[in-house]
């Protein structure tokens, strides 16, 4: 048997040879992972998106102070209430409101800005003064047995919503969701909506939206939200117009690239632009934006198109009268 | 009764002599304090996430302490052969079961007091409010929950071969009941017979431990639970704990001690 020293030397030489052969290949494997981002991405992989969704829903649970359907409850839908409410403008009242939504009623204190709804508009927003009948957000049915009835003493059974500064309790979960999945655009727009609206912190909203913009440079939703922030909170019409116009261009580019049209988002952008121009007295420009929206609406749904035609005609009349 | 308390006091002393409690407390405190140090959107008044994190750590730690302590009581006595002089005192097997369970329960209660005092200090310093009655209700209900779990662990320590398997099975069962117990009736109704009847029978038989998890009420500053409901839930927990301990006594009576 050869001396153990020679065996050891042979093994060392073989190890060094393998390492030299493997090292350039290993650096190719790890560079793909390194390009995908930070330690969190590398450790968690695609599971981080699942966690991001969970924490986004957690923010909604906090918004309702724990009153939330479980996965077993029939009333559970995929809609997240804080996202519903962030679907449109706060200041302008309603845009994109579907009056055909069953069980939805509200009194005259609600502000409505009746831009025509898209064919199917799941978004639902109401101004602070709205009172409405409870509808799909009430998920608890009468208890089936005494165990279920007694168990209701130990969790929240009332539908409530955080308001004003109290809504800040949802922010940590939105921040964590954004950290885990920076490409989830909805996180930024929803957080910004609540920050600049209920919590009256537009600077924090802008900073968060800018973070989202860096992670998603082509996102029209983030640009729309930024435009609304500049319009409603900073009253900077010029910058708002630029941001909304950029959002429109991003949408057009996206539509050309994928061949798919996000009609609710396009409607929100063009209606926002139109309202902004109308408020500035630029009726011609306002009508042009509505005309663009009119051309994008599906012809098989004539109701909204007729409504738009009426509004365009009104704007043209105002423009001539000017 | 003196005998039972004497055995219980030994178990309590074991809690602060072993490192389990200190490790779990320090770990929970560190994680909570690290979370507390951070701010979100420059807002240092946000507190609910902190309560949620701290309460989750308290629940995990208390469950681990209760299950691991209770699961090893009888097997450790048998392994070290100290069960023989204990029973020769004379102490009956029933007194051993009762004393060990009571000791584990009181020890878990002491641990809970320390954990909740920490929670009150941390959250109170942030939100400048001390809803003591809410914390008291939450701690009391959690203590009752641990009483049932300890009784199950003591039964398991006689039925199963090793403390590790007992603890594992118990964790799975307890977590299963916490997550699914309240929804089993809904799941049952969606199934055809005979599975519907089987699930519904399980639903009525299992101890509904999810009643005792009132963290969401504390986190979201909800109103107090009706005191009659707390009393009824406590009575429910005591009944189940006594049932499990009775079953443990029946099994222990027939068990040979020298195997």
- Render pLDDT for A44-71 as a digit per residue (tens, 0 to 9): 788 899 999 999 999 999 999 999 888 8
Residue A31's alpha-carbon distances to A27, A34, A36, A46, in angstroms, are 6, 5, 9, 17
Last residue of a domain, one of A193, A217, A241: A217
B148-159 in b/e form (b: 16+ CB < 10 A) is bbbbbbbbbbbe
- B214 with A145: Cβ contact below 8 A: no
Structure tokens at A50: 């699942």
Shortest CB distance from B43 goes to which of A66, A148, A171?
A171
Q: Report the gap between the CA of B153 and the closest CA in chain A (Å).
A: 24
When mean pLDDT is compared across A89-103, A288-302, B235-249, the lowest value belongs to A89-103
Residue A200 token pair? 């009256």
Domain membership flag for residue A29 = no
Taking CB atoms and an 8 Å limit, are A156 and B216 in contact across chains?
A: yes
Rounded to whole angstroms, how far apart are CA atoms A289 and A251? Answer: 14
Residues A315 and A170 reside in one and the same domain: no
Tell whether A180 is covered by a domain: yes
* Statement to judge: residues A175 and A243 lie in one domain: no
In this prediction, residue A136 carries a pLDDT of 47
Q: Which residue of B has its CA nearest to A206?
A: B41
pLDDT band at A127 (very low <50, low <70, confident <90, very high): very low
With cut-offs at 50, 70 and 90, classify the pLDDT of residue A124.
very low
Final residue of a domain: which of A217, A238, A256? A217
Looking at CA atoms only, how far is residue B220 from chain A in angstroms? 5
Cβ-based contacts of B201 with chain A (< 8 Å): none
Domain count, chain A: 2
How long, in residues, is chain B? 259
Question: Shortest CA distance to A315 belongs to which of A286, A277, A289?
Answer: A286
Residue A36 has pLDDT above 70, yes or no: no
* A264, A320: one domain: yes
Indicate the residue of A72, A169, A171 with minimum beta-carbon distance to B186: A72
Output B4 or A208, whichever has higher pLDDT: A208
pLDDT band at B183 (very low <50, low <70, confident <90, very high): very high
- Extract long-range pairs of A81-85: CB within 8 Å, 24+ residues apart: A81/A137, A81/A161, A82/A170, A82/A190, A82/A194, A83/A186, A83/A190, A84/A122, A84/A123, A84/A124, A84/A125, A85/A124, A85/A125, A85/A126, A85/A193
Q: What is the ipTM of this complex?
A: 0.91
Among A188, A217, A246, give the residue marking a domain's end.
A217
Does the pLDDT value for residue A121 go beyond 90?
A: no
> Within a domain: residue A274?
yes
Burial class (CB in 10 A: 0-12, 13-18, 19+), A180: buried
Query: Does residue A109 lie in a domain region?
Result: no
pTM of the model: 0.81
Pick from B183, B220, B232: CB nearest A66:
B220
Q: Say yes or no: A298 and A178 in one domain.
A: no
| Residue A49 parent element (H or E) | helix A47-63
Chain B residues whose CB is inside 8 A of the A208 CB are 41
- The pLDDT value given to residue A96: 35
Which residues neighbour A234 within 8 Å (Cβ) at sequence distance 6 or greater?
Answer: A202, A240
- For residue A168, what is the enclosing H or E element? none
The pLDDT value recorded for residue B28 is 96
CA angle A212-A218-A220, nearest 5°?
80
CB distance B42–A65 less than 8 Å?
no
Write the CATH number for A279: 1.25.40
Clarify whether residues A321 and A281 are in a common domain: yes
Q: Which of A213, A245, A214 is nearest to A227 (CA)?
A: A245
Average pLDDT score over residue span B42-65: 94
Structural domain includes residue A115: no
Residues A264, A199 within the same domain = no
Specify the higher pLDDT residue, B13 or A229.
A229
CA distances for A117 relative to A113, B89, B100, angstroms: 11, 84, 68
Q: What is the mean pLDDT of chain A?
A: 80
Asked if A189 and A316 sit in the same domain, the reply is no
pLDDT for res B12: 87
CB-based contact A144 B45, cutoff 8 Å: no
User: How far apart, in whole angstroms, are the C-alpha atoms of residue A132 and residue A159?
Assistant: 13
Decide if A194 contacts A162 (C-beta within 8 A): no
Give percent helix, percent strand, percent coil of chain B, each to the nearest 5.
Answer: 80, 0, 20
Are residues A208 and A274 part of one domain?
no
What own/partner pairs with CB < 8 Å and gap ≥ 24 does A144-147 have?
A144/B185, A144/B186, A144/B189, A145/B185, A147/B185, A147/B203, A147/B204, A147/B208
The end-to-end CA distance of chain A, in Å, is 107
The nearest alpha carbon in chain A to B43 belongs to A168
Torsion of CA B240, B241, B246, B252, to 10 degrees: 130
Answer yes or no: do A87 and A203 share one domain.
yes
Q: Is the residue at A76 inside a domain?
A: yes
Would you call B81 helix, strand, or coil by DSSP?
coil
A56 and A87 fall within a common domain: yes
Inter-chain residue contact B186 with A171, CB threshold 8 Å: no
pLDDT in tens, A248-284: 999 999 999 988 889 999 999 999 999 999 999 999 9
For residue A322, pLDDT over 70 is answered with no
Residue B244 to chain A, least CA–CA distance (Å): 20
Judgement on whether residues A238 and A300 belong to the same structural domain of the protein: yes
Q: pLDDT (tens digit, 9 = 90+) per residue, A72-120?
A: 875 555 567 777 767 644 333 333 333 333 333 333 333 333 333 333 3
pLDDT at A135 over 80: no
Q: What is the mean pLDDT of the segment spanning A282-295? A: 93
Range with lowest mean pLDDT among A16-30, A185-199, A210-224:
A16-30
Cβ–Cβ of B183/A62 closer than 8 Å? no
Please tell me the predicted confidence (pLDDT) of residue A77: 57
Q: Which tokens go with B14? A: 């074991």
Contacts for B193-196 with beta carbons within 8 Å, 24 or more apart?
Answer: none
Q: DSSP string spanning A116-146?
A: PPPSS-------TT------TT--PPPPSSH
A149: contact with B, CB 8 A cutoff: no
B68-120 pLDDT, tens digit each: 999 998 888 888 888 887 887 788 888 999 999 999 999 999 999 999 999 99
pLDDT of residue A10 exceeding 50? yes
State how far residue A94 is from chain B, nearest Cα, in angstroms: 28
How much is the mean pLDDT over chain B? 92
pLDDT given at position B120: 96
The C-alpha torsion from B129 through B132 and B136 to B137, rounded to 10°, is -70
pLDDT at B173 over 90: yes
Asked if B183 lies within 8 A of A173 by C-beta distance, the reply is no
Structural domain contains residue A30? no
Lowest mean pLDDT among A284-293, B3-12, B136-145, B153-162: B3-12
% of chain A beyond a pLDDT of 90: 53
Q: What is the sign of the dihedral through the CA atoms of A194, A200, A201 and A205?
A: positive
| Structural domain contains residue A32 | no
Range of A198's domain?
A: 43-99+159-217
**Is residue A230 within 8 Å of residue A276, measured between CB atoms?**
no
The answer on pLDDT for A41 being more than 90 is no
With cut-offs at 50, 70 and 90, classify the pLDDT of residue A30.
low
A279 and A180 assigned to the same domain: no
């Amino acid at each position: 048997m050869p001396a153990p020293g020679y065996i050891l030397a042979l093994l060392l030489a073989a190890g060094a040879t393998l390492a030299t052969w493997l090292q350039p290949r290993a650096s190719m494997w790890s560079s793909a992972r390194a390009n995908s981002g930070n330690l969190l991405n590398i450790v968690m992989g695609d599971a981080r998106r699942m966690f991001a969704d969970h924490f986004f829903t957690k923010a909604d649970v906090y918004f309702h102070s724990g009153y939330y359907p479980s996965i077993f409850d029939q009333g559970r839908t995929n809609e997240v209430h804080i996202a519903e409410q962030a679907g449109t403008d706060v200041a302008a009242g309603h845009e994109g409101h579907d009056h055909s939504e069953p069980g939805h009623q509200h009194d005259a204190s609600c502000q409505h800005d009746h831009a025509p709804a898209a064919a199917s508009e799941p978004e639902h927003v109401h101004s602070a003064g709205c009172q409405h009948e409870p509808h799909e957000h009430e998920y608890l049915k009468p208890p089936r047995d005494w165990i279920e009835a007694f168990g209701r003493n130990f969790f929240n059974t009332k539908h409530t919503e955080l308001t004003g500064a109290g809504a800040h309790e949802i922010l940590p979960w939105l921040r964590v969701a954004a950290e885990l999945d920076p490409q989830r655009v909805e996180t930024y727009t929803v957080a910004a909506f609540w920050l600049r609206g209920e919590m009256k912190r537009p600077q924090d909203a802008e900073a968060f939206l800018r973070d989202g913009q860096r992670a998603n440079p082509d996102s029209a939703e983030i640009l729309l939200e930024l435009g609304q922030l500049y319009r409603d909170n900073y009253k900077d019409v010029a910058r708002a117009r630029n941001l909304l116009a950029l959002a429109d261009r991003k949408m057009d580019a996206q539509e050309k690239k994928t061949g798919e049209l996000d009609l609710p988002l396009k409607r929100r952008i063009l209606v926002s632009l139109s309202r902004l121009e109308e408020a500035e007295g630029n009726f011609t420009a306002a009508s042009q934006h509505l005309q663009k929206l009119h051309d994008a609406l599906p012809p098989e749904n004539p109701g909204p198109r007729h409504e738009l035609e009426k509004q365009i005609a009104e704007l043209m009349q105002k423009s001539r009268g000017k | 009764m003196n005998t039972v308390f004497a055995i219980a006091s030994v178990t309590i002393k074991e809690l602060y002599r072993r490192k389990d409690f200190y490790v779990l407390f320090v770990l929970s405190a560190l994680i909570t304090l690290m979370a507390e140090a951070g701010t979100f959107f420059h807002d240092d008044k946000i507190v609910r996430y902190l309560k949620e994190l701290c309460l989750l750590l308290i629940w995990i730690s208390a469950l681990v302490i209760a299950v691991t302590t209770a699961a090893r009581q009888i097997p450790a006595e048998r392994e070290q052969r100290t069960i023989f002089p204990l029973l020769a005192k004379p102490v009956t097997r029933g007194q051993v079961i009762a004393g060990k369970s009571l000791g584990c329960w009181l020890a878990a209660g002491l641990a809970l007091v320390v954990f909740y005092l920490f929670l009150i200090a941390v959250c109170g310093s942030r939100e400048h409010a001390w809803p003591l009655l809410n914390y008291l209700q939450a701690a009391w209900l959690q203590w009752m929950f641990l009483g049932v779990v300890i009784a199950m662990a003591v039964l398991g320590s006689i039925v199963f071969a090793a403390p590790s398997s007992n603890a594992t099975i118990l964790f799975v069962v307890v977590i299963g009941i916490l997550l699914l117990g309240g929804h089993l009736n809904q799941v049952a109704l969606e199934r055809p017979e005979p599975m519907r009847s089987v699930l519904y029978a399980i639903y009525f038989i299992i101890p509904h431990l999810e009643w005792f998890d009132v963290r969401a009420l504390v986190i979201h500053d909800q109103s107090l639970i009706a005191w009659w409901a707390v009393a009824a839930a406590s009575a429910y927990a005591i009944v189940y704990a006594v049932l499990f301990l009775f079953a443990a006594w029946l099994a222990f009576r027939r068990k040979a001690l020298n195997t």
